[in-house]
Amino acid sequence: LLAEKVEQLMEWSSRRSVIRMNGDKFRRFVKAPPRNYSVVVMFTALQPQRQCSVCRQANEEYQVLANSWRYSSAFSNKLFFTIVDYDEGADVFQQLNMNSAPTFMHFPPKGKPKRADTFDLQRIGFAAEQLAKWIADRTDVHIRVFRPPNYSGTIALALLVSLVGGLLYLRRNNLEFIYNKTGWAMAALCVVFAMTSGQMWNHIRGPPYAHKNPQNGQV
């Protein structure tokens, strides 16, 4: 039975890095023994009618992490990444008394999950690197996160340089505006305001999207 379960999970993993599960699959491959592998489960609600923007953002990071594991040289049948959507496995949410999403849980090869097997998303955030560190603590499996290349910054910089170059070319016979102190002062103020804004702090520190009040538990 164990060999059949591992073989089936490996087959699914060869198709998708993250295995989608309903209630029956969850109970058979994650909860029921025998099991000699760890399973990381993302409980989420990705359907548009749920309007869970955090779920979609967390799912993107989860996919990056799972792909990094699937295509790494250390990939093995000791760890699997799965996902349970509320609309496909509402009974699983009820069974685990879970009333919020997204939630990440680790199910060890033996025994029941402990408190540390639930990822503290509100405090740490859901970046793929943070998830990889948590998994390493729970399973001793170290995953190096590889992100797909993002050329948006390079394209934006090239467009900006082209725009400035084109403006200077059009005004090549009258470049007195370059020495306008007021213009440079306004540009400097814009840079200062942007660098000291809350959004820049969010970009640097990467705080969680939401946090629970420790006094009353409200988000």
pLDDT tens profile 58-114: 999 999 999 999 999 889 999 999 999 999 999 999 999 888 889 999 999 988 899
pLDDT of residue 195: 87
pLDDT of residue 216: 82
- Residue 16 token pair: 């998708």
Task: Sort residue 211 into left (φ over 0), alpha (ψ -120 to 50) or beta.
Answer: beta
Strands 18-20 and 79-85: parallel
pLDDT of residue 131: 95
Beta carbons of 45 and 98 less than 8 angstroms apart: no
pLDDT of residue 163: 93
pLDDT of residue 175: 80
Distances (CA, A) of 14 to 70, 134, 204, 218: 8, 24, 36, 40
Q: Parse the chain into domains and list their residue ranges.
A: 1-139, 151-205
pLDDT at position 206 over 80: no
pLDDT tens profile 127-147: 999 999 999 999 989 999 998
The yes or no reply on domain 1-139 and CATH 3.30.70.1400 is: no
pLDDT of residue 81: 97
Nearest to 38 by CA among 69, 1, 73: 69
Cβ within 8 Å of residue 17, ≥6 positions away: 63, 66, 67, 69, 70, 81
- CA dist 170 and 130 (Å) reads 49
- CA dist 129 and 206 (Å) reads 12
pLDDT tens profile 147-198: 888 788 899 999 999 998 998 888 888 888 788 899 899 999 999 998 888 8
pLDDT at position 37 over 90: yes
